[in-house]
Structure 1
């Protein structure tokens, strides 16, 4: 019996899982669109209709494996929500995600057009991401003045985590507490 053709979410899930598996096996440098297509049992044309290049595929896989809004508990206060969020993010960090971030960084340094695409995609993901939900909860609870909520504040914790990971190869719990207590909360006026 012939396999039914996958579409929509089923096809996309197969593709991002194929990217994730290729990252584990070949790393960012060895990842090719052809290998992803073969592993996902689809064609390169199908991939290129949705993602313009391998960087976009990798971003999709990283986003798929990142914590979702549902993964972040509502503890009742901003500090504890942020700590829970950042600890959840760190728990999901793997060698392949570090390699993927380094690969993206290197590739975007050489290609300004790709850099713009990566920044736009990261901004899009962060606008609806868990950090936004955590800050919005704090605004609704009256902990944070909505006027203090800027795009920089919403990006700050994830950006600092990425920087810590790329510079030091790990994110300690002490670093998480410092990011929250010494940077994000003061900027939020808490």
Structure 2
């Protein structure tokens, strides 16, 4: 073991590295304890920092919880399939959500009920904050389907475009389990494609 004066001092985290460490710790606290068991003190202890460091960035517990929930969503970015087929792309996107997002969605629904009640917000608000005006993966897939003549742009209202994920989330919420492949294919084949195909 090197002499004490030769042991490098631990690096002090700053900026983005510090914020990531704080949000990682906060998200892990949400996963383990839910909103009711979540405290600024427990996040500070997990992140090995002080409460003052956290309060300089997030003034309240709900502020930190919201930031951590958004951070949790961004830790597993969704890839956008490009199989050359609208049907296959939508099915692949929903199956990918099962692998990467189902656990997150269930955690948010189960662990953050009190947060939503306390703040008067909803999962839809959190999703809107996450998207932040960007084009969604599903919208990009549907746009490619329009270019290939697989979807009629005149039929593509926001409601219609969002049908696959609306039905997917409903199934997830009702069963509290990842959605079976056959249900995903049924959503796409029996509901979505008949709504968007050219007449």
Q: In which range does the TM-score fall when normalised by the shorter chain?
A: 0.7 to 0.9
- Mapped contact 1:79–1:180 kept (Cα < 8 A): yes
1:156 matched residue in structure 2: 163
TM-score by length of 2: 0.73
Larger relative helix fraction: 1
- Mapped contact 1:37–1:47 kept (Cα < 8 A): no
Unaligned ranges ≥5, structure 2: 1-8
Larger radius of gyration: 2
Q: Aligned in 2, Cα 1:30/1:160: closer, same or farther, shift over 3 Å?
A: farther
Distance 1:36 1:107 in 2: 17
Q: Does 1:121 align with 2:129?
A: no
Select the residue among 80, 91, 99 that pairs with 1:83: 91
Select the residue among 34, 38, 58 that pairs with 1:48: 58
Q: Does 1:60 align with 2:65?
A: no
Question: Number of paired residues?
Answer: 184
- Note the C-alpha offset of 1:51: 8.8
**Alpha-carbon displacement from aligned partner over 1:6-30 (angstroms, at most 9, x marks no partner):** 223x344334422332233223442
Distance 2:192 2:143 in 1: 14
Distance 1:96 1:132 in 2: 21
Select the residue among 162, 172, 176 that pairs with 2:180: 172
- Mapped contact 1:83–1:180 kept (Cα < 8 A): yes
TM-score by length of 1: 0.76
- Mapped contact 1:87–1:173 kept (Cα < 8 A): yes
RMSD after superposition: 3.0
Distance 1:81 1:41 in 2: 43
Structure 1 outlier segments of 4+, above 4 Å: 49-52, 93-97
Unaligned ranges ≥5, structure 1: none
Q: Does 1:19 align with 2:26?
A: yes
Distance 2:144 2:194 in 1: 17
